[in-house]
Structure 1
Amino acid sequence: MDIYLDGTWNLVLDPENIGIQKKWYSINWVQSPSEPVLSIKVPSSFNTLPGLNRYAGTVWYIRKLPDIPYRPKSHEYSIEFEGSNYYTQVWLNGNYLGDNYGGFLPFRFIFNPRLIAITGENYLVVRVSNALDRKGIPAEVYDWYNWGGIHRSVKLLILEKTRIIKIKVTTKVKPSHISMATVYVNFSIKNTQEFLDRCYAMQIEPQAEWELYYLGRFFDGEQQFNQILIQTGTLEINPEILPPLNHISHDQESLEEYFDEILDEIEQIDEIIDLETYFSSESKNFLKRLNRKERKENKKHQYLDLDADSKDYNTLFHIDIQNPSLWTPDTPDLYLIKLHLNGIDEDKEVRFGIRQIEVKKGQIVLNNRPIRLIGAAIRDEKNLHGMDYLNEIYRRDILRLKSLGMNTLYPSYYPHVPSLLDLADEEGILIFSEIPMVKNIRFHDSKTRKLAMKMIYQMINRDYNHPSVILWIIGNEIDTFSYFSRRFLSDLIYYTKHWDPSRLISVATNKILFNGIHKRIDVVCKNLQFNSTYGGLPQFSWILDTIYSFHRRKPVIITQFASSHNRKTKNLDNDIAEFQFHAKNYLISQIKVAKTKPFIQGMILGILRDYRSPLHSLFQKEEVVHNGFFNEKDHPRDIVPLLPKLLPESSIIPKYIFHQNLPANFHFNVFILRYFLLPFEILTILKEKIHYCFLRLKARHFYRPVIKEK
């Protein structure tokens, strides 16, 4: 059972960071606070409140909990946050539950139900700080607004202690034909030994029953047809590989006596749990960092298993499907698999699509057919005011993409809400997903490296069953050439492939020559921002050829495909109009050039909507970045009606041989351009280092833990 805690919470500001010292988390202080108390809606960002626009500091959330069912022996209690930015600490009735770093991925804290007051009132206290952290991910400088607070849903979970906790579905399409597909289902059982003993006491077989349904397609969020049962089956849970319980004997009488109290209290769960939490604070044993000496001795990577100490039972089975309905942007057909354990009331079900994404002979191939990825990026902001997004806005954005002839959405810089991925699954939109590892990350710091490893693990487990997600981007415009960055990124790429071998991996970079990990990634993602970095259009074609010369046999995706904004006058309206005029002409010319390059397999043409970013430019005072296809009032710009005519009619690329499609002077041009770009790129790196230092100063001046009166 899940009890949502969204709604109105109390909020107390702590600009001097004295709350922990004065025990603001205690029940006595919560019931009679000594500081002014505000009201705030959860989920939302506290920066939307009057006077807190630039506030970067600590706040305290207080929530009186509703009545909670008390089932301590048979059920597990936990608090789950889908997202809270950035550093979060949680107390329940004055008892500390744990903390979490990161603002965009789910986390939860398991607690003893004895902490709940049966007759009195229960209070949940959450301390959240969005202060800039140089060792954090992201660090002090990043290209989006520092929205702080609990900006995604919070819920209280009451789950059976013995249950299916995780299902991962991987699909493969036969390479010779598409009339046969195999579905691999990997699931985990929590407290497996108790499940086996319970089955023994109840005189039932320790089995897991599964059912496979065909859901078909969705229209406006509604399923068009009733789900169709395709296959069913039963799996035996093998008790021989599991050790017996130490605290009881295995004769019939003792088992019955041990489980009498538990079986009497088991009640029907109110609803099927739709989303199992993917990462628990108890998994902190993952901080057993990579051991370089062991890797050298074994000459292989030592798997970093975040669940290495878990007693959960994992098993894998596969299902063969004749004539499957494959998931593609044109035919987003979905399936559902449901698992049930004998003697357990809770079922577990996940939705998935049958599709296979891979790279073959330099092409991105979806279901054994090459595909071109055309799309736009998006920021998780609601009309420039916070991150409390609505599904209606997401659906509108996705339908806009499809109307423009695009098939890809890039939720840039950080993982967006899962509801966006659900809509992408239903509408047939391909997704690039990434963790907020941007700009100047301190790779030499162990805290930063562990946090990045934890984030990619969380993101993979949360989004694994979404067929729309085809590419993991593990960094954006980060250092890929220094010793520490190459060593860590190589490890991160390896473990990402180990945790999810079914998707592509890349790192988005704005460098052409300096990329120390290009051999380890599947797809080359380049941020090419002209006017400020690489000059004008005459160099664009040559630069694309140079990128290909460094990355032979690998597809190239331009993940930032626009010109930059340089203010020239004090009149903001004139600046925006002039910028939009030049940006439109640049984009049209760039698309025409890129369409002539067969190795360009994807183009992210720009940002879908304007967004807030006070650190986008060093000397820019305006907080809004005006380079979206739709402005802050949600009106389309002049480029929007032209896009359907500019983009390719079909997303399928005909097969080709690279060297037969290259111009005669290709190798000579690339040879000259390499030596021309080498000193230029070195100067660009030095320029970025200096620019970053000034942006850090601007960030510290812009975001301050000072309350300004309205």
Structure 2
Amino acid sequence: MISHVVGCAMSLTLLFTMFSGCVRGEGAPPLIGGLPGRAAATTSLDGRWMYICDPYDQGRIDFLSRPRSDGFWQDRHPRDERERVEYVFDDSHTLEVPGDWNTQDEQFFFYEGPMWYRRSFSYAPDPARTRAFLCFGGAATVADVWVNGTKVGGTHEVGFTPFHIEITDTVREGDNTVVVRVDNTRRADQVPALITDWWNYGGLTRSVSLVRTAGTFVRDAHVELSRTRPVVNGWVQLDGVGMAKAAVQVTLEHAGTIQVITDERGIARFEMDARRVPRWSPTSPVLCKFDVQAGDAAFSDRVGLRTIETRDGDLLLNGERVFLKGICIHEEALSHRGRAAGEADARELLGLARELGCNYVRLAHYPHDESMLRVADELGLMVWAEIPVYWEMEYTNPRTLELAKTHLREMIGRDHGRASVIIWSIGNETGEDADKTAFRTALGRYVKELDGSRLVSAALFARQERDSQGRLRRMIVDDPFGEVADVLAINQYVGWYHDQPESIRDVEVELAWNKPFLISETGAGVRAGRHGSEDAVWSEAFGVRYYREQLGWALGLEVCDGISPWILKDFLSPRRPLYGVQDWYNRKGLVSETGERKQVFFEVQRRYEACDR
């Protein structure tokens, strides 16, 4: 049957905006934000890439800081002994992709600046697949790409989200070279800006691939459960010369098959019967096969169908109240040093969260690798996904706001199909002056334009109220962003950064709005294996004392709808130089950097097991 045109909470605003990355450079070709077809032919370009470390950026500018026309992207080699070329990509200097350079070679541990990557690939024409794309899962932080010495795409300035560049007119039969300049220099107008509490990893930190498609392909597709009717709403987006008025077949497991026709923009919206569709949840993370066929072009995915909403201050999953027993996670691997990437790392991290007793994870403080969201779908873990609007930034700078919006657009563009994602967070611990409130409010409203099917939040501070003896009595959640947020959330470290762990016992929480409330962070630094009394900071015993008080309070707090302790594992941070204890690690992890479980891990695990909320 031909479907009716229907509404969809996943706004078509996203459809029209997510296909352009954050491009710098006048006249630059657009960067494509949507992956061109999940059934397209894909060749991995992961593995060893040659590199040149370039701290003075001489591959881009000359000694007078003028742009060069013969930069490293030319990948030149001397034609004979008379020609002088003062750089070379060489097999003896390689880095693994995906991967950060900081932990692959000790000389780059603290390095911040440009790094040039180079590798070759072979290409053979295929009449069935006439278009070619280079697809980057992420490059930290600013990336420029050349193919066979020709610049392709613009400058991508968002280090945690994917970008894809069409190279159909640049690639040639036979051998080809791709050169990528990646620069992780911190800048005041970027997102994040100059100071964070995590490592500033640099490099091609996520997978790179060559994707080939037909002239017209399925760029993306989406399905979601209606909150008010027993139907699935969805859309399909085609790309190419044949995208208008095209016949498309959509099949969703348990819902059936329908035929739709695209409009002039290559978009078709549809509605399907959802009465037999199983609902995704932490206790039953059912994924349904979702297929789209448009001529020779195909798209395939596995999706969960569920609703998430708030009502009268409650958090509802599939119409039923849910309590979030969570943990925060940074994107650092368990089995090796450095940034996590790929399915194996995701399964280790999220498997540990499940072992802890979690039904929820907060992925801090930036979009994580796509594998994390897909594995979360499989394991039944609800997800808080966040962009790195963090601490101090240039909140009055329009460019900074646009970069933050690009983070949101590209994160949502990639992960809109993941049932695990229930909350989009626009930031962490920003404070609340007028400029910051305007900035955050703009982002919160932008998220709702892009995706009305999920909830919006941010990790805020509470205002503290003390009695005449200076004892903490009340935490008041009245940050102005709460007006826009669907879920209120605060970070609090009572007993670590101030007061004693027992100070939390009688603290009341006052909410300025009748909305769900989360403890988005709480934690204490513990060095694994460190002995000492319950009064000795950094000791295992102090950590157990801290969580005994915090979880005893939070899990019994009627107004609380969930908690995510900070953090699953110790992670690298330039702000943690205490030798013999921190050694450049933030020690608030429930496990060490090598995965050794601290006593706090078992304390949280016991508390979650006993919690019947």
How would you bin the TM-score normalised by the shorter chain? 0.7 to 0.9
CA distance, structure 1, for counterparts of residue 530 and residue 140 of structure 2? 32
Structure 2 CA distance for partners of 1:142 and 1:29, relative to 1, 3 Å = farther
**Do residues 191 (structure 1) and 240 (structure 2) align?**
yes
Which residue pairs with 2:257 in the alignment?
232
Q: 2:373 aligns with which of 409, 414, 421?
A: 421
Identity percentage of aligned residues: 24
Structure 2 CA distance for partners of 1:353 and 1:30, relative to 1, 3 Å = farther
Shift of the alpha carbon at 1:435?
0.8
Q: 2:418 aligns with which of 459, 466, 485?
A: 466
In structure 1, what residue type is equivalent to 2:256? Q
Which residue pairs with 2:3 in the alignment?
none
Q: 1:107-122 counterparts in 2 under 5 A? A: 107-113=163-169, 115-118=170-173, 121-122=175-176
Shift of the alpha carbon at 1:64?
1.2
Which residue pairs with 1:677 in the alignment?
none
Shift of the alpha carbon at 1:45?
0.9
In structure 2, what residue type is equivalent to 1:84? A
Shift of the alpha carbon at 1:70?
5.5
CA distance, structure 1, for counterparts of residue 284 and residue 47 of structure 2? 38
CA distance, structure 1, for counterparts of residue 610 and residue 159 of structure 2? 39
In structure 1, what residue type is equivalent to 2:306? R
Question: Secondary structure of the equivalent of 1:526?
Answer: strand
Which residue pairs with 2:94 in the alignment?
39
CA distance, structure 2, for counterparts of residue 57 and residue 573 of structure 1? 40
CA distance, structure 1, for counterparts of residue 349 and residue 362 of structure 2? 12
| TM-score scaled by length of structure 2 | 0.82
Q: 1:591 aligns with which of 525, 546, 551?
A: 551
CA distance, structure 1, for counterparts of residue 340 and residue 315 of structure 2? 34
Which residue pairs with 2:136 in the alignment?
81
CA distance, structure 2, for counterparts of residue 630 and residue 564 of structure 1? 11
Q: 2:289 aligns with which of 332, 336, 339?
A: 336
CA distance, structure 2, for counterparts of residue 358 and residue 457 of structure 1? 21
Shift of the alpha carbon at 1:525?
1.1
What's the Cα RMSD here?
Answer: 2.7
CA distance, structure 2, for counterparts of residue 236 and residue 632 of structure 1? 52
Shift of the alpha carbon at 1:614?
1.8
**Do residues 410 (structure 1) and 366 (structure 2) align?**
no
- Contact 1:529/1:564 (<8 A) preserved: no
C-alpha offsets along residues 628-678 of structure 1, whole Å, 9 cap, x if unaligned? 111123221112333343226466x4xxxxxxxxxxxxxxxxxxxxxxxxx
Structure 2 CA distance for partners of 1:235 and 1:191, relative to 1, 3 Å = same
- Contact 2:192/2:390 (<8 A) preserved: yes
Which residue pairs with 2:541 in the alignment?
581
Q: 1:179-258 counterparts in 2 under 5 A? A: 181-191=230-240, 196=245, 206-214=246-254, 230-237=255-262, 242=264
Structure 2 CA distance for partners of 1:184 and 1:574, relative to 1, 3 Å = same
Structure 2 CA distance for partners of 1:12 and 1:27, relative to 1, 3 Å = closer
Shift of the alpha carbon at 1:23?
1.1
In structure 2, what residue type is equivalent to 1:647? Y
CA distance, structure 2, for counterparts of residue 537 and residue 388 of structure 1? 33
Structure 2 CA distance for partners of 1:617 and 1:433, relative to 1, 3 Å = farther
- Contact 1:78/1:111 (<8 A) preserved: yes
Q: 1:325-364 counterparts in 2 under 5 A? A: 325-341=278-294, 344-364=295-315
Q: 1:551 aligns with which of 512, 519, 541?
A: 512
Shift of the alpha carbon at 1:232?
1.4
Q: 1:69-468 counterparts in 2 under 5 A? A: 69=125, 75-97=130-152, 98-113=154-169, 115-118=170-173, 121-173=175-227, 181-191=230-240, 196=245, 206-214=246-254, 230-237=255-262, 242=264, 312-341=265-294, 344-383=295-334, 385-468=337-420
In structure 2, what residue type is equivalent to 1:330? T
CA distance, structure 1, for counterparts of residue 78 and residue 357 of structure 2? 54
CA distance, structure 2, for counterparts of residue 12 and residue 326 of structure 1? 50
Shift of the alpha carbon at 1:350?
2.6
**Do residues 4 (structure 1) and 47 (structure 2) align?**
no
- Contact 1:170/1:185 (<8 A) preserved: yes
**Do residues 26 (structure 1) and 66 (structure 2) align?**
no
Q: Which has the larger radius of gyration?
A: 1
Structure 2 CA distance for partners of 1:237 and 1:442, relative to 1, 3 Å = closer
Structure 2 CA distance for partners of 1:641 and 1:235, relative to 1, 3 Å = same
Q: Return the structure number with greater helix share.
A: 1
Shift of the alpha carbon at 1:527?
0.6
Q: 1:556-571 counterparts in 2 under 5 A? A: 556-563=517-524
Which residue pairs with 2:38 in the alignment?
none
**Do residues 611 (structure 1) and 563 (structure 2) align?**
no
Which residue pairs with 2:28 in the alignment?
none
CA distance, structure 2, for counterparts of residue 313 and residue 67 of structure 1? 29
Structure 2 CA distance for partners of 1:537 and 1:194, relative to 1, 3 Å = closer
C-alpha offsets along residues 213-243 of structure 1, whole Å, 9 cap, x if unaligned? 25xxxxxxxxxxxxxxx511212346xxx4x
CA distance, structure 2, for counterparts of residue 441 and residue 81 of structure 1? 27
Structure 2 CA distance for partners of 1:565 and 1:441, relative to 1, 3 Å = farther
Structure 2 CA distance for partners of 1:314 and 1:534, relative to 1, 3 Å = farther
CA distance, structure 2, for counterparts of residue 618 and residue 641 of structure 1? 26
Q: 1:519 aligns with which of 478, 483, 499?
A: 483
Which residue pairs with 1:694 in the alignment?
none
C-alpha offsets along residues 364-383 of structure 1, whole Å, 9 cap, x if unaligned? 11111101001111111124
C-alpha offsets along residues 316-369 of structure 1, whole Å, 9 cap, x if unaligned? 11111224321110011111221112xx21211232112111111111111111
In structure 2, what residue type is equivalent to 1:189? L
Question: Secondary structure of the equivalent of 1:183?
Answer: strand
CA distance, structure 2, for counterparts of residue 397 and residue 50 of structure 1? 25
Count of residue pairs brought into register by the alignment: 538
CA distance, structure 2, for counterparts of residue 369 and residue 194 of structure 1? 41
Which residue pairs with 1:540 in the alignment?
504
CA distance, structure 1, for counterparts of residue 449 and residue 582 of structure 2? 44
| TM-score scaled by length of structure 1 | 0.71
Q: 1:634-673 counterparts in 2 under 5 A? A: 634-647=595-608, 649=610, 653=613
- Contact 1:78/1:109 (<8 A) preserved: yes
CA distance, structure 2, for counterparts of residue 429 and residue 323 of structure 1? 23
- Contact 2:396/2:435 (<8 A) preserved: yes
CA distance, structure 2, for counterparts of residue 500 and residue 56 of structure 1? 35
- Contact 2:359/2:380 (<8 A) preserved: yes
CA distance, structure 2, for counterparts of residue 30 and residue 184 of structure 1? 59
CA distance, structure 2, for counterparts of residue 509 and residue 68 of structure 1? 53
Question: Secondary structure of the equivalent of 1:397?
Answer: helix
Which residue pairs with 2:109 in the alignment?
53
CA distance, structure 1, for counterparts of residue 455 and residue 78 of structure 2? 48
C-alpha offsets along residues 63-99 of structure 1, whole Å, 9 cap, x if unaligned? 112234365x973222111011001111111111121
CA distance, structure 2, for counterparts of residue 30 and residue 517 of structure 1? 59
CA distance, structure 2, for counterparts of residue 45 and residue 518 of structure 1? 36
Runs of 5+ unmatched residues, structure 1: 175-179, 197-205, 215-229, 243-311, 654-710
- Contact 2:72/2:87 (<8 A) preserved: no
